[in-house]
Amino acid sequence: MDESIGLVETQYFTFAHPPHEMRLESGETLGPVTLAYETYGRLNEDKTNAILLHHALSGDAHAAGYHEGDKKPGWWDSMIGPGKAFDTNLYYVICSNVLGGCKGSTGPSSVNPKTGRPYGLDFPTITLKDMVDAQRHLIDHFGIEKLLAVAGGSMGGMQALQWLVSYPYRISASIPIATTAKHSPQQIAFNEVGRQAIMADPNWNDGNYYGGEGPAKGLSVARMIGHITYMSDVSMAEKFGRRFRDERKPFKFSADFEVEGYLRYRGDSFIKRFDANSYLYITKAMDYFDISDNKSLHEVFKGIEAKVMALAFKSDWLYPAYQSHEIVRACKLAGVDITYCEIYSTYGHDAFLLEVEEETHLIKHFLRRVYHGYEVTDEFEI
Amino acid sequence: MDESIGLVETQYFTFAHPPHEMRLESGETLGPVTLAYETYGRLNEDKTNAILLHHALSGDAHAAGYHEGDKKPGWWDSMIGPGKAFDTNLYYVICSNVLGGCKGSTGPSSVNPKTGRPYGLDFPTITLKDMVDAQRHLIDHFGIEKLLAVAGGSMGGMQALQWLVSYPYRISASIPIATTAKHSPQQIAFNEVGRQAIMADPNWNDGNYYGGEGPAKGLSVARMIGHITYMSDVSMAEKFGRRFRDERKPFKFSADFEVEGYLRYRGDSFIKRFDANSYLYITKAMDYFDISDNKSLHEVFKGIEAKVMALAFKSDWLYPAYQSHEIVRACKLAGVDITYCEIYSTYGHDAFLLEVEEETHLIKHFLRRVYHGYEVTDEFEI
């Protein structure tokens, strides 16, 4: 139980080689497309034990285990491994970096084969549907007919919902966590301000900054806004209070308070690992996301046989529980088998990364019910 | 009833002429100090009917009536005038631009008499206490011994609380609205990100931008962040939904959604009327605000004979009602006469400017109780 899966390596799959380019939701085409991905556990002979995990806005394919030389494991390591929620003794776990990303998958920082230079803003508009379509190519490549489950939090949850709608016959279950069926104007607004901060930075230069400095300050501000929305009022009060950073009398516009120092640190570390154009493209994809597509949500979910488990967190004000309630209600109306749990937490939106114990319990049992077709109690645990 | 007070003019009062400079909370001195102010109604012979109103972060002395040629009235016109909440038939209403502001009061954009150039970052750190001290000079200038009331929303409410603590014997009542006794880490965080956006703009130039372009883009981003926090999730959904701005297919990073257009408009109009350095100084003053000063809040309120009415709004998540509850609880423990009302509203923090009917009813009756010393029912309305 609770072991690490140890050393892992990111792999790459390239498809949609011209002239067989990928057709995007916008009507534009893109190719070739590379997805960076990692896998944990072993695919069984029938290829029936595969689970596809989706990362959030700033995540990547490295969900679990350690890269050679790294001190920190992947972003959801607490949930993936032998005996963990996504139990690698039982399941074959796949995670890929999204289309449009900057961690090995094709995105605006990739080289445009037509020009030999990074795409920048020549990269086409992408949507959540396009991200999921790209993942479907990867699943085809593995020869997996039907995924046991798709799962993810935040934007990862949107992908889990998009799989339900785009490829309902190719998944047995979907686990959307701390997410929404459509971005609200408040969610759009927070993303938009982040984009404005990036585009206000003269180093952004209309997206042509590769090889140069890049809009580090703008991206840092965007990330700071994000971090405020990922925490709750209560968790900030618990973590920082009104404590000053040191004994000195506060002076003007230095980071006097601990919370200011935290935000600056988060902003500064983000710019070393993320591409500003990817931030623009991916947040825009999130904002466009409305799975109901102008129909009523339960119409869209009709006929889906995959089982769904939705999770939300009480103090999450960025993706408030009422947005999960809308998903639950529509699934019920559509006759979809849905389980819902609202987990008590003070962590805000970050809870989906932190409330490991509750999530583990719920997901483990849900997956076994899907995999074995019946409830498996703890006595039968392997 | 509900008439406008008509044309008004901003006036100016200058004090603290060297060598009698104003001593600030930081220990620094400042002088001369000018406050821009407006007055509405008539001061009675005994000078017992004066009410001092305080504006919020981006407000000014022009609270009511019209300036020559203007189409829009002052920022709280709906609440100030004959028959209104702050009834100019009964009361003499004063509003001044805060110390550190940019609407006629001395602030970082004012000329430093020592250098002949705008202060910029040579302007001293100011606090809410300093703002209130400056107002006290203005009240002295009027020869007013005791104000009937002080009132304001948001940062205006902090000033109303600061008067209670700094000059308890010089007010008969305080009306803090949609405010807090101390800025929470989340409130600090939102202000800090706004400051970072300004300081990330190369045109900010360490505050030395007067005569040049100024950090318009950074200030605009700061204001956009502010506007998100002033509205509620619900009010944004009601006002904008997910509507697109026009019939065109959305394209990349233009303002596709109405909510994006609104924020950009708000950001763009703000930069024409506000000074970025004032934004830095005033938000920092708000962040430093903790009226308890490391004591327990009820200790600070002990012995206060002024009556208090606190108002909060249900959907206000920037200054949530629990912060008003803390004020109410401390007043009760300290034996202060406090009335509290939590007003139902979907407008979020903006509610204090918009929920005129409820506020009018509550404030009008509260003021009459303070002024006449007993309840005045509607039958006796003048």
Predicted confidence at residue B294, as pLDDT, reads: 83
How far off is chain A from B105, nearest CA to CA, in Å? 20
Residue B379 has pLDDT above 60, yes or no: no
Mean pLDDT over residues A341-347, rounded? 97
Predicted confidence at residue B254, as pLDDT, reads: 80
Report pLDDT digits (tens) over A329-339. 999 999 999 99
A224: which chain B residues are within 8 Å (Cβ-Cβ)?
189, 192-193, 196
DSSP-derived pairing of the beta strands B92-96 and B33-40: antiparallel
pLDDT band at A253 (very low <50, low <70, confident <90, very high): confident
- Tokens 């000063």 belong to which residue? B293
Mean pLDDT over residues A303-319, rounded? 98
Predicted confidence at residue B197, as pLDDT, reads: 98
Residue A372 has pLDDT above 90, yes or no: no
Predicted confidence at residue A375, as pLDDT, reads: 61
Least confident of B164-168, B248-252, B288-292: B248-252
Q: What angle do CA B33, B39, B44 make, to 5 degrees?
A: 115
Residue B378 has pLDDT above 60, yes or no: no
The per-residue pLDDT of chain A, averaged, comes to 95
Nearest CA in chain A to B239: A185
Distance between CA atoms of residues B132 and B147, nearest Å: 13
* B188, B221, B252 member nearest A125 (Cβ): B252
Predicted confidence at residue B358, as pLDDT, reads: 97
- Asked if the Cβ–Cβ distance from B192 to A263 is below 8 Å, we say yes
Q: Would you name the residues of B annotated as active-site residues?
A: 154, 316, 349
- Asked if the Cβ–Cβ distance from A224 to B184 is below 8 Å, we say no
pLDDT band at A379 (very low <50, low <70, confident <90, very high): very low
- Asked if the Cβ–Cβ distance from A185 to B241 is below 8 Å, we say yes
* B188, B196, B221 member nearest A259 (Cβ): B188
pLDDT band at A380 (very low <50, low <70, confident <90, very high): very low
- Asked if the Cβ–Cβ distance from B186 to A236 is below 8 Å, we say yes
- Nearest CA to B40 among B82, B101, B97? B82
Report pLDDT digits (tens) over B80-102. 999 999 999 999 999 999 999 99
Distance between CA atoms of residues B13 and A312, nearest Å: 56
CATH 3.40.50.1820, applies to B11-181+291-380: yes
Predicted ipTM?
0.94
Q: Are A154 and B221 in contact (CB under 8 A)?
A: no
CATH 1.10.1740.110, applies to A188-284: yes
Through-space distance between the first and last CA atoms of chain A, rounded to whole angstroms? 10
Report pLDDT digits (tens) over A267-287. 999 999 999 999 999 999 999
Predicted confidence at residue A248, as pLDDT, reads: 56
Report how far apart, in Å, the C-alpha atoms of B355 and of each of B177, B314, B346, B350, B358 are.
12, 12, 10, 9, 6
Predicted confidence at residue B373, as pLDDT, reads: 81
Mean pLDDT over residues B57-72, rounded? 97
Distance between CA atoms of residues A186 and B346, nearest Å: 14
Q: Would you name the residues of A annotated as active-site residues?
A: 154, 316, 349
Proportion of chain A above pLDDT 70, given as a percent: 96
Residue among A28, A125, A186 with most chain B CBs within 10 A, to mutate: A186
pLDDT band at A252 (very low <50, low <70, confident <90, very high): confident
Mean pLDDT over residues B331-345, rounded? 97
Report pLDDT digits (tens) over B296-332. 999 999 999 999 999 999 999 999 999 999 999 999 9
Distance between CA atoms of residues B157 and B46, nearest Å: 27
Q: Are B187 and B287 in contact (CB under 8 A)?
A: yes
Nearest CA in chain A to B280: A253
Report pLDDT digits (tens) over B178-212. 999 999 999 999 999 999 999 999 999 999 999 99
- Nearest CA to B76 among B160, B5, B170? B5
Which class in CATH covers the domain with range A11-183+290-380? alpha beta
Distance between CA atoms of residues B243 and B258, nearest Å: 6
B236: which chain A residues are within 8 Å (Cβ-Cβ)?
184-186, 189
- Asked if the Cβ–Cβ distance from A241 to B183 is below 8 Å, we say no
* B188, B253, B317 member nearest A260 (Cβ): B188
The topology under which CATH files domain B188-283 is Rna Polymerase Sigma Factor; Chain: A (1.10.1740)
A186: which chain B residues are within 8 Å (Cβ-Cβ)?
228, 231, 233, 236-237
Report pLDDT digits (tens) over B251-308. 578 888 999 999 999 999 999 999 999 999 999 999 999 999 889 999 999 999 999 9
Mean pLDDT over residues A171-176, rounded? 98
Predicted confidence at residue A87, as pLDDT, reads: 97
Report pLDDT digits (tens) over A8-54. 999 999 999 999 999 999 999 999 999 999 999 999 999 999 999 99
The domain locations on chain A are 11-183+290-380, 188-284
